[in-house]
Amino acid sequence: MAADIETRTDIEVLLRRFYGRALVDDLLAVPFNEVREQGLESHLPVMCDFWETVLFGAGLYRGSALRVHERVRDRHPLGTEHFERWLSLWHETVDAMYAGPRADRAKAQGAGIAAAMNRRLLGLPSAAAEAVRAGAAQLPVMRAR
């Protein structure tokens, strides 16, 4: 059985394999063109900081992932199909390398990040905002005793 993600080195190995696939993927190659042009070595430390913060609470990533993806979207159309493909490759890569609670968290966080990023880049409201707008979500009424 595979080991879980335990260290920054594990994250780096995972990201190298993931980007090795994403950079040549038929659908993702164009949006990842800047990473390919600048070289993975310049992108990797930032992504390791991001995932180390997500998985270990390291607090190393201080950027805005949304702003980065807005700049990508400004140069290349990004749609739901891109985020679905990214997520599929992410899950496949994690599953091929690791197993355990942190690997599961990496997949769950990846799914949440992909969904939120897709929604925000397309200008769609969150599910919570939609529920409030539709009157489906209401705050509980607190009564004095």
pLDDT given at position 121: 87
Alpha helices in 57-100 (DSSP H): 65-75, 80-97
pTM: 0.82
Cα separation, 89 vs 18, whole angstroms: 7
pLDDT at 123: 84
145, pLDDT greater than 70: no
Look at residue 133 in the predicted model and tell me its pLDDT: 52
Residue 140 has pLDDT above 70, yes or no: no
Domains and CATH numbers, the chain: 8-124 (1.10.490.10)
Q: What whole-number distance in Å separates Cα of residue 137 and Cα of residue 130?
A: 9
Q: What angle do CA 83, 67, 137 make, to 5 degrees?
A: 65
Q: What is the mean pLDDT of residues 91-119?
A: 96
Between residues 65 and 91, the one the model is more confident about: 91
What pLDDT is attached to residue 141? 39
| Consecutive H or E run containing 117 | helix 101-121
Q: Which residue from 105, 96, 128 is spatially nearest to 52, judged by alpha carbons?
A: 105
Write out pLDDT tens, residues 117-139.
899 888 877 665 555 455 544 44
Provide the token pair at 7: 């260290």
Q: Of residues 13 and 67, which shows the higher confidence score? A: 13
Residue-wise pLDDT for 22-80, tens only, equals 999 999 999 998 888 999 999 999 999 999 999 999 999 988 888 888 888 888 888 89
Buried b (16+ CB within 10 A) or exposed e, 37-51: eeeeeebbeebbbbb
Distance between CA 114 and CA 97 in Å, rounded?
20
